[in-house]
Amino acid sequence: MRSDMIKKGLERTPHRALLKGTGVPHNQMDKPFIGVATSFTDLIPGHVGMRDLERFIEKGVHSGGGYAFFFGIPGVCDGMAMGHKGMHYSLPTRELIADMVESVAEAHRLDGLVLLTNCDKITPGMLMAAARLNIPCIVVTAGPMMSGRGTAGRKYSFVSDTFEAMARYKAGVINDKELQVCEDNACPGMGSCQGLFTANTMAILTETMGMSLPRCGTALAVSALKRRIAFASGEKIVELVHNDVKPRDIMTRKAFENAIRVDLALGGSSNTVLHLLAIAHEAGVELPLELFDELGKDTPQIASMNPAGEHFMEDLDIAGGVSGVLKQLGSKINDTPTLFGLTTHQLAESVQNVDEEVIRPLGNPIKKEGGIAILSGNIAPKGAVVKQSGVSAPMMVFKGTARCFDAEELAMAAIMEGKIKSGDCVVIRYEGPKGGPGMREMLAPTAAIMGMGLGDSVALITDGRFSGGTRGPCIGHISPEAAEGGPIALVKDGDIIELDIPNRRLELLVDEATLATRRSAWKAPEPKIKGGWLARYAKVVTSAHTGAITTAD
């Protein structure tokens, strides 16, 4: 075992002394040492219930014949960080989390890891670490929140309801009392946000790839089932150590293809493009951006999930969960191994009934194509991403007048002041991985556009990214980004921008000679943040089309 390096032989007497100083009994030294990387924090609803799950994981590890050690991993709540300086830190923490898990596991020679996670950048950061370390690992996602309840039985979802409520209030659509009811009921307790936002999409894709146990991706945070999954995961990691089952045995190219298909079929978050590319990079799997579009044209959307649709995570779980989705997709899913022991086809076959009101059969899809589309054109020569499942039919093809803003705050002020009108195309730039730095989510301006009733007449494009809660004609991940001199930096107010999602095009209708003149006059702006670790991050992060990974170059 790896842990023999710190507990076997005469030379390890000091190491054993330190271990005994932590309370490890001598008769436990021969057991596998299992690290439990926990992202518990009082700051995030999705993580406040993890103390309970830690207990059950520890019970499972000991029942399985291992010895558990807990260590902490930071978490940033995107909702809390939204709309201010804090959002610069969100995506970069993904790299920080992967580095921290790697550091502790390598320094202490742990034999295996249970990765207790839940929210947006934390789950992909954990998976990146698992792929990089390639030691036995299992993921426990802490589960989604129950939907909130308002008057007349209305269900609330935190992301779509609260952020859009601000604009509806501003527009006079709702009053003080209605706004307060939304605020008081949108988050009824622990768990990740209730719809198919980034956190829940990543939990589903983790289970799809086989890195967590069945039902883990959808079982609610408040459920006894989640406790049982935590216990079983603790037992399973000891078995994985003994059998030397490693993440790269599970996270193969075919497993990533399954994850993409399930994401497309459910209409999941566009952030998963960034995260799957980054995880695949760590796993040594080639995963080109174009694959999302290739599979999307062959994968119908078979569920209508909040925020763009009607169903919540609690509905998906009851309807059949991830295995139910695999069953409905049938032969489109590769037969790949999972940590559970059954293959993806076996898991699909084990499902007795699927609620086809929630997870439709292939012959009766919501839409003929998957939820995500990859666009390109002279604004985005290296690609851009749109969550087409959240775009209304009239906005699938659109021609608008550019309104340019060099920061999210400037765009948000213009929207809330009523300066954005029907027919405009809002351009938010210098918000990419390097220019942000940190590629902030543009949930506030997109929610404000929807809340102001402009969702069917205004488009938004950015080199930043979007929350999983974003809906409407919002195109992100534009590469190359403005800070690298990408064409989005050359757009001027009054230019005409053409969006054609069916044909995967995003074009600036300005002749090349004019663009060449603008390009020769362009100068890189001063960095927005010049100190702290974000300044270092900006120097090594790559473009969105690579997954916004960091390099040593």
User: For residue 515, what are the domain limits?
Assistant: 372-546
Residue 362 falls inside a structural domain: no
497 token code pair = 């921008």
Q: Tokens 């001063």 — which residue?
A: 526
309 token code pair = 């649709």
pTM, rounded to two decimals: 0.94
Report the percent of the chain where pLDDT is more than 90: 84
Q: What is the pLDDT along the chain (553 residues), one digit of tens a residue?
A: 999 999 999 999 999 999 999 999 999 999 999 999 999 999 999 999 999 999 999 999 999 999 999 999 999 998 888 878 899 999 999 999 999 999 999 999 999 999 999 998 999 999 999 999 999 999 999 999 998 887 767 787 777 677 778 778 887 888 988 888 888 888 889 999 888 999 999 999 999 999 999 999 999 999 999 999 999 999 999 999 999 999 999 999 999 999 999 999 999 989 999 999 999 999 999 999 999 999 999 999 999 998 888 999 999 999 999 999 999 999 999 999 999 999 999 999 999 999 999 999 999 999 999 999 999 999 999 999 999 988 999 999 999 999 999 999 999 999 999 999 999 999 999 999 999 999 998 888 988 898 888 989 999 999 999 887 777 899 999 999 999 999 999 999 999 999 999 999 999 999 999 999 999 999 999 999 999 999 999 999 998 999 999 987 5
Which residues belong to the active site? 467
Specify whether 376 is located in the same domain as 461: yes
Q: Which amino acid is at 5?
A: M
Residue 295 falls inside a structural domain: yes
| HSE-up of residue 477 (Cα within 13 Å, Cβ side) | 28
Residue 80 falls inside a structural domain: yes
Specify whether 426 is located in the same domain as 331: no
Q: For the chain, how many residues are written? A: 553
141 token code pair = 């996602």
Q: What CATH number is associated with residue 125?
A: 3.40.50.2300
Specify whether 531 is located in the same domain as 384: yes
β-pair partners for 461: 427, 475
β-pair partners for 31: none
379 token code pair = 């604004």
Separation of alpha carbons 496 and 182, rounded Å: 38
Specify whether 434 is located in the same domain as 504: yes
Specify whether 107 is located in the same domain as 199: yes
Specify whether 237 is located in the same domain as 382: no
Sheet holding 67-72, edge to edge: 67-72, 33-38, 112-117, 137-141
C-alpha torsion angle, residues 482, 486, 488, 491 (rounded to 10): 110
Cβ contact 211:113 at 8 Å: no
| pLDDT value for 553 | 59
Give the tens place of pLDDT for each residue, 27-55.
999 999 999 999 999 999 999 999 999 99
In order, the DSSP letters of 192-239 are: B-SSSSHHHHHHHHHHHHTSS-TTTTTS-TT-HHHHHHHHHHHHHHHH
Give the tens place of pLDDT for each residue, 240-252.
999 999 999 999 9
Give the tens place of pLDDT for each residue, 298-329.
999 999 998 888 999 999 999 999 999 999 99
Specify whether 242 is located in the same domain as 258: yes
Specify whether 141 is located in the same domain as 164: no
Q: Which amino acid is at 173?
A: V
**Domains of the chain: total:** 3
